[in-house]
Amino acid sequence: MASDSVDLDELMAAAGQDQGNDDVDPLDALFHLAWDQPVRTRAGRVCRVRQVRASELEAMSARAREILEGLLQR
């Protein structure tokens, strides 16, 4: 039912996020509201992947690393 749906704009507003901020994911806003998790941005998650998974990234082939870097940059 439509009454059971979640309005993403309302969710983002309740989490204190600008509705026009494309860098904050609605799932992160939900985690913030439900479990008091910090609101992470996409850029912050990319930085964390590069730090936490640095050894795994280094172990990949050059082509695999190139593809993954392309995805992370987007």
pLDDT above 90 for 29: no
Are 30 and 53 within one domain? no
Whole domain around residue 24: which residue ranges? 7-39
Within 10 angstroms of residue 38's Cβ, the number of other Cβ atoms is 8
What torsion do the CA atoms of 22, 65, 55, 43 make, to the nearest 10 degrees? -10
Q: Is residue 53 part of a domain?
A: yes
Is the residue at 2 inside a domain?
no
CB 39 within 8 A of CB 17: yes
Per-residue confidence band for 20, with pLDDT thresholds at 50, 70 and 90: low
The reported pLDDT for the residue numbered 30 is 82
CA 20, 25, 31: angle at the middle one, nearest 5? 125
Do 46 and 24 belong to one domain? no
* pTM for the model: 0.59
Q: Kindly report the number of other CB atoms within 10 A of residue 29's CB atom.
A: 22
Residues 45 and 74 occupy one common structural domain: yes
